[in-house]
Amino acid sequence: MAAAPTAMKREFTMFSALSVAFAFVSPIVALYSVLGVGLSASGPAFIWGGLVLYAGQFVVVLTLGVLASKWAESGGIYQWSRRLLGHRYGWFASWTYICTLLITLPAVAYAGAVLIPPIFDIPAADPGFVTWLAVGLLALTTVVNLAGRVFIKILMVGVLVAEAVGSVGVAIWLLFFERHQTLDYISPASLGEFDGVFFAAPFVMAIAFSSYFAIGFESASSIAEEVKRPKRAVPRAMVVSFFAIMSIVLLSTLAFTLAVPSDEFLQNPENAADPAVAIMAATFPEPVFRGVLALFVIAFAASLMTIQITVSRIVWATARNGELPFARTLTRLSGDTGLPRVAVLVTAVVAVLLFIPFQSEGIQMALISFSSVGFFISFLFPILGMAIARVRGSWHDEPDLFLGRAGRAVSVLALIWLLFQIVNVAWPRESGAGWATDWSTVIGVGVVGVLGVAVEWWVHRKRLHAAATGSTLVVIERSEDADDEELVEPLAR
């Protein structure tokens, strides 16, 4: 009987890592998720908030690229934080990121499921029916993740086609044939003057609400141990995917904003809730409209799949170091290529259980709000850790790393940006839905933090016991032999 594998096979290329990062929050998912709330809060000039967001996130992706070029391990954010400031710091980074991803799974699944009934001309579906559709969508992506990397690559091709037609194609059509507004419509002057609290200003809110535009690039690092030559491939995949998403999202945002027929169009509550869908429904013949919605669903399915890939890998990597309950079970790999199928199944079950509170609209909004700020807090852990390590003298900007000596200046900008954006996203703005909704993000962060302290206390007791008995928590010892493997160029003949 063959022994169970302890390492995942390197079957992904740089293009595969790029595709994972691209599909994590694809342009379709990013635009559909935030366009409505962005236009409602900041008006047509919402796009300028997205530009500032991308400028800030660019220094973040560069800084994380530096870390990825030094440590090519699954569960990047956890591994980087752990290596910079130790096990306890790394554990909290892992906990924050895992909770963020697990909450994002049902949020994305539900948003994608909302698009399914109109494809089949089903009248307004009740939340219970949409929830079951979302569970089915999550079950489908779980099966793909369990099936193997070949099937993952096939769905990646599907999402690229969906984006080419559903994002780029639709955007170009709207710009050339359905443009109802001039560029003056998106002038920054349309934001108007504001004398209130800084974080309630329309432009600052536009930066906060566009947060979903620029997350997901870090997911390329989650599969580092499955990628060939990861120290070169992963940083490049992160940067290229970032620019690909940025270009398509800004193009699509511009196209849909200029396609708004009139101010009265957005005053209709149904149109304001889903302006992208409303504009397409008013623009395209019904068969074309349904076809585009089907492409949207494919993009949401691919996003679900890659989010699940990311969270299952960070769960597996954390358990490998013995720092999660049932660590030996969670670290099991199966199949000839070594897939973390147990971790995939566990994360899927937890995500399904999180659908229960989705029957309450208030809790649903709280979960979505937390997932947004959770990403920025997760990014903060390794970047803050790098800054502290520099002060201690334990980190040096080596010339052979990504960015080389320029890494120091870029990482300082990234740290300042993340601190601002965390406050900006979590700021309790008045929504008219009550204090619980306004403070939902802060409450969510607090709940996750308290639970994290409780679980980490249990883990830390295990660490102390292991140290006292001379044993180890590590379930699997990782070999770094393949991290720096280079393809040998054939000799010239």
Counted residue by residue, the chain has a size of 493
Query: Given pLDDT bands bounded at 50, 70 and 90, which one contains residue 459?
Result: confident
**Number of C-beta neighbours around residue 320 at 10 A:** 24
Using a CB cutoff of 8 Å and minimum separation of 24, what contacts does 390-396 make? 394/84, 395/84
Q: Domain range holding 366?
A: 14-469
pTM of this prediction exceeds 0.85? yes
Does position 491 have pLDDT exceeding 60, yes or no?
no
CA 126 to chain centre: 28
**CATH number of the domain within which 398 lies:** 1.20.1740.10
Angle in degrees, CA 328, 75, 94, rounded to 5: 80
Is the residue at 32 inside a domain? yes
* Residues 300, 321: Cα–Cα separation, whole Å: 32
Is the residue at 490 inside a domain? no
E strands, 173-273, in order: none
394 Cβ contact list (under 8 Å, min separation 6): 84
The closest alpha carbon to 483, from 196, 185, 79, 137, belongs to 79
Of 97 and 157, the structure prediction assigns the larger pLDDT to 97
Q: Are 387 and 412 in contact (CB under 8 A)?
A: yes
Is the residue at 2 inside a domain? no
Q: Are 134 and 109 in contact (CB under 8 A)?
A: yes
Percent of the chain with pLDDT strictly greater than 90: 31
Q: Which residue has the tokens 């660490």?
A: 463
For the ranges 78-92, 237-251, 294-308, 473-487, the lowest mean pLDDT is seen at 473-487
Take residue 12 and report the two structure tokens written for it.
């992904």
Is the residue at 481 inside a domain? no
Is the residue at 6 inside a domain? no
Q: Are 355 and 131 in contact (CB under 8 A)?
A: yes
φ, ψ for residue 122, nearest 5 deg = -90, 125
Take residue 323 and report the two structure tokens written for it.
């720092």
| pLDDT for the residue numbered 492 | 36
Is the residue at 299 inside a domain? yes
Mean pLDDT of 257-267: 88
Domain tally, the chain: 1
DSSP notation for 86-106: -HHHHHHHHHHHHHHHHHHHH
- 3-class DSSP assignment, residue 480: coil
Is the residue at 374 inside a domain? yes
The chain-wide mean pLDDT, for the chain, equals 84
* Residues 396, 368: Cα–Cα separation, whole Å: 38
Is the residue at 85 inside a domain? yes
For the ranges 214-223, 287-296, 374-383, 482-491, the lowest mean pLDDT is seen at 482-491
